[in-house]
Chains A and B, each alone.
Chain A
Amino acid sequence: MAKRIDVSGLSAYYGSFRAIEDISMTVEPRTVTAFIGPSGCGKSTFLRTLNRMHEVTSGGRVEGKVMLDDENLYGPGVDPVAVRREVGMVFQRPNPFPTMSVFENVAAGLKLNGSYKKSELADIVEKSLKGANLWNEVKDRLNKPGSGLSGGQQQRLCIARAIAVEPKVLLMDEPCSALDPISTLAIEDLIGELKERFTIVIVTHNMQQAARVSDRTAFFNLAAVGQPGKLIEIDDTERIFSNPSVQATEDYISGRFG
């Protein structure tokens, strides 16, 4: 089910400011790709262009192409709403809907798209919560507010909500940066399991995390503040962390800047 992402010549703008410039890369299905780089290098912006969340911000627009298998996300007549259905997203801070219960949170995306029978819905919710390694912890409190869970549980709830609609790709924007180490570990384990079913792209500030969870790693950098971010290189994670082909990558990874 997972799909390949193929980006070519992509630049993203906020108004007249160019946030990222001329990025091309391919993300294979059923892999985990990590984006690393210093703050402000545009990796989160780039991630958001992959499901057209970028244009939600005022003045946000894009040049270039993002192919999902063989369809351009920015082609004429493409509905951004449908794009986001195909390409799910998990955010930096856990954001379950505060007015909904655990169950309703997971079912939120499903309910948008037509009617499900009660039992059907319950099945999908259970499957999604199991898929997010959360079922055992919440099965007795499905009707309690989702905001009552711990931070790590909330983040897994958000993952369950995202995978319930069966997207082809899952984008994660620093999903662990607001979590404690144990919750982080739980999410990292989960990412390993989810890549059997989804194409996963994760932005992270934590290089150990990138090394632990990803198959491929992309390094982004910017020449100076105010300049657009650029993709420096993308390669197998092992290679990036042992023997990168660009000096800047090595400097960043070895902690010489950023």
Chain B
Amino acid sequence: MDTSTEITDTPPPAPQPSVEQKRAARGATRPGDRIFLGLSRGSGIFLLVIMAAIAVFLTYRASLAISKDHGNFLTTFDWNTSIQPPSFGIAVLAYGTVISSIIAMVLAVPVAVAIALFLTHYAPRRLRGPIAYVIDLLAAVPSIVYGLWGALILVPHMNGLFGWLNDYLGWTGLFSWDQGAPRSMLTVGILLAIMILPIITNVSREVFRQVPQMHEEAALALGATRWEVIRMAVIPFGRSGVISASMLGLGRALGETMAVATVLSPDFLIHGSLLNPGGGTFAQNIASKFGEADEFGRDALIASGLVLFVITLLVNGAARMIIARRAEYSGANA
């Protein structure tokens, strides 16, 4: 039988099936099969084209802006696109994006893992399902609602915490506070943490639930306490899952726009203290500056968006590598 058709990614046919089945399996000998395969493969290729187009068009528009940037695109502490010559740079945005995401991760990941354990191992059995369900729904609350809540409810409540941090940890410099409105990187980080908490909790819970009963029983039969069971059997098994959950959360935090835009009071400086307002993130800056930007200003914002795009790609890739490397030891398929 002639196998040199236009499909290059068909596996070698298994030895037994009839000619009929082989034809069906190859899926391109009948008109109906050919059309259907063409449609579905076309959709897949369409997705690849979109990804390529995102990269190409963002790069093209970004290059228009960067080529006229009078400052240094990477190091300038300014975003002036309407003056001549224009001068803008992403240093402040990169710093703000990274620092707010770090704060969010430091706060959210341990708490999310703890809640996931709470839901799988500690909570009264009758409450586990309903609580998990509610957290699942909270993961679907739109970010703009978190932003509104953050700006109108969270920000006023931060004064006490900021004063307290300033009193006791102000000497570190990181937590000194000039009594300004608490619309600072720390507030942003806390709000981002609250936002990504449900999603990390959900994925981690799913992972912990999949720990085979027999591993936990093995630990119990050795005379382990509940915490020791978790440390011996649950966490090692779930580690790669928790990492991928965290990366999912990190991706959200890095690209979050509205919640940051509503809470932060931005400027173009890097502040030593996390408590004083100022700074900015890529996404927030795009949303805040877009309204008054002319065509060139929009290209400049696209350039900063391209950097954000690359950062999220790197984070995603890193997560994938970590998971792949851990897979052999995770016992997921043991």
What residues make up the interface of A, taking CB atoms closer than 8 Å to B?
A: 51, 53, 56, 58, 81-86, 88-89, 91, 93, 95-100, 108-109, 112-113, 145, 147, 158, 161-162, 165
1/0 per residue, CB under 8 A from A, across B208-250: the answer is 0000101101111111110010001100110100000000000
Complex CA–CA separation, A248 to B231 (angstroms): 47
Interface-side segment among B90-98, B280-288, B326-334: B326-334
Cβ contact within 8 Å between A108 and B220? no
Find chain A residues with CB under 8 A from B215 CB: 95, 97-98
Given contacts A108-B232, A145-B329, contact A98 B219 (CB under 8 A): no
Given contacts A51-B221, A58-B125, contact A97 B236 (CB under 8 A): yes
Count how many chain B residues have C-beta atoms less than 8 Å from C-beta atoms of the other chain. Answer: 23
B228 to A, closest residue via Cβ: A112
Q: What are the 10 A-B residue pairs with the smallest beta carbon separation, nearest first?
A: A98-B331, A85-B223, A99-B236, A109-B222, A89-B221, A95-B214, A147-B334, A84-B223, A98-B334, A95-B218
Find chain A residues with CB under 8 A from B218 CB: 91, 95-97, 158, 161
> Among residues 111 to 144 in chain B, which have CB atoms less than 8 Å away from a CB atom of chain A?
125
Find chain A residues with CB under 8 A from B223 CB: 81-86, 109, 112-113, 165
Cβ contact within 8 Å between A97 and B232? yes
Cβ contact within 8 Å between A88 and B221? yes
Query: In this complex, which of B125, B221, B225, B239 has the most chain A Cβ atoms within 10 angstroms of its Cβ?
Result: B221
Complex CA–CA separation, A56 to B215 (angstroms): 13
Q: How far is the CB of A132 from chain B (nearest CB, A)?
A: 15
Cβ contact within 8 Å between B236 and A84? no
Complex CA–CA separation, A112 to B329 (angstroms): 22
Cβ contact within 8 Å between A99 and B329? yes
* Total CB contacts across the A-B interface at under 8 A: 78
Complex CA–CA separation, A183 to B142 (angstroms): 57
Find chain A residues with CB under 8 A from B331 CB: 97-99, 145, 147
Which of B220, B225, B239, B334 is within 8 Å of A53, CB to CB? B220
Which of A58, A145, A147, A161 is within 8 Å of B222, CB to CB? A161
Q: How far is the CB of B314 from chain A (nearest CB, A)?
A: 28
Complex CA–CA separation, A85 to B330 (angstroms): 27
A148 to B, closest residue via Cβ: B334
Which of B214, B222, B233 is within 8 Å of A165, CB to CB? B222
20 contacts between A and B (CB under 8 A): A53-B221, A81-B225, A84-B220, A85-B223, A86-B223, A91-B214, A91-B218, A95-B212, A95-B217, A95-B218, A97-B215, A97-B218, A97-B331, A98-B329, A100-B236, A109-B224, A112-B222, A112-B228, A147-B331, A161-B222
> Among residues 277 to 334 in chain B, which have CB atoms less than 8 Å away from a CB atom of chain A?
329-331, 334
Which of B220, B221, B228, B237 is within 8 Å of A99, CB to CB? B237
Q: How far is the CB of A151 from chain B (nearest CB, A)?
A: 12
Given contacts A97-B215, A99-B236, A147-B334, contact A84 B221 (CB under 8 A): yes
Find chain B residues with CB under 8 A from A147 CB: 331, 334
Complex CA–CA separation, A88 to B218 (angstroms): 10
Find chain B residues with CB under 8 A from A93 CB: 214
Q: How far is the CB of B327 from chain A (nearest CB, A)?
A: 11
Given contacts A99-B236, A99-B330, 17 further A-B contacts (CB under 8 A): A56-B217, A56-B220, A81-B223, A83-B223, A86-B223, A88-B222, A91-B217, A91-B218, A95-B218, A97-B219, A97-B232, A98-B330, A108-B232, A112-B223, A112-B228, A113-B223, A161-B218
Cβ contact within 8 Å between A108 and B329? no
